[in-house]
Structure 1
């Protein structure tokens, strides 16, 4: 198994989907317990990551309707993440950028990771075929 081969992620897309769902649940839990501040950008991104994970794990993932839904929802999430990430670049250009005191909660970094993850999940959704849905 090579981490740098696309086939690895396509073959193990169910594990990627479970990881996305788990990330979404953990992110929502952290906010709902009051550990992090309420952020509408983050809420949209974590919800989209969870939905894309659900779409990827469903047996209908190879159907064109599922792929279309993944594209629409994923595009929304990617745009939200890109907007939040660009605000960080804007503050860098203005000379006003500072990382969050807790680097793990930095919106600039988290939105970049979310954007990367959302686009990756969309790509995996689009690569699903019926042969991948059958148990080996």
Structure 2
């Protein structure tokens, strides 16, 4: 997925601003579902065990490509809300350098109150997704 903002920090600020427009969590969940529908198509051929993200209750597949200058991530889930969580994470981290990814704490999660409103299994899945992104960046970062 290609970034829409020039930096991870700006992406996090935009996410916080967008979520501030919603008064309650039913509206925020609906927005998450809508965001998940914006994920680029993910080829069925990549929905394999090799690309499956473990630690999620839902089925999630993720692939990374690129190098230290720019890492791109594509992912999809069989769950609407999880797809929205993926969209937010990729909006912050995909298309960034390994250095920027490693330097960016996922503050948007706390900023929009997400941590308090996710089930334990979704929280674990989000943590697994963020860990995959960080581990990929670590492997590609200059020594």
TM-score bucket (shorter structure): 0.3 to 0.5
Higher strand residue share: 2
Bigger-Rg structure (1/2): 1
Higher helix residue share: 1
Could you state the TM-score of these two structures normalised by the residue count of structure 2? Answer: 0.34
